Amino acid sequence: MQLLVNIDHIATLRNARGEGYPNPVEAAEVCEKAGAYGVVFHLRGDRRHIKDVDVYALKNSVTGKLDFEMAASNEMLSILKKVNPQLCTLVPEGREELTTEGGLNMSVVFDDFKNRVFPAIRETDIEISLFLDPNPEDINLAFELGTDAIELHTGNYANAGSKQNAQAELTRLSEAAEQAHKLGIKVNAGHGLNQKNLPGFLRAVPHLNEISIGHALISDALFDGLENTVKKYLKIMDGYGY
Catalytic residues: 42, 69, 191
- Tell me the DSSP string of 62-129: --SEEEEEE---HHHHHHHHHH--SEEEE----TT-SS--S---HHHHHHHIIIIIHHHHTTSS-EEE
**Phi/psi at 4 (nearest 5 deg)?**
-110, 130
Contact 81, 102 (CB under 8 A): no
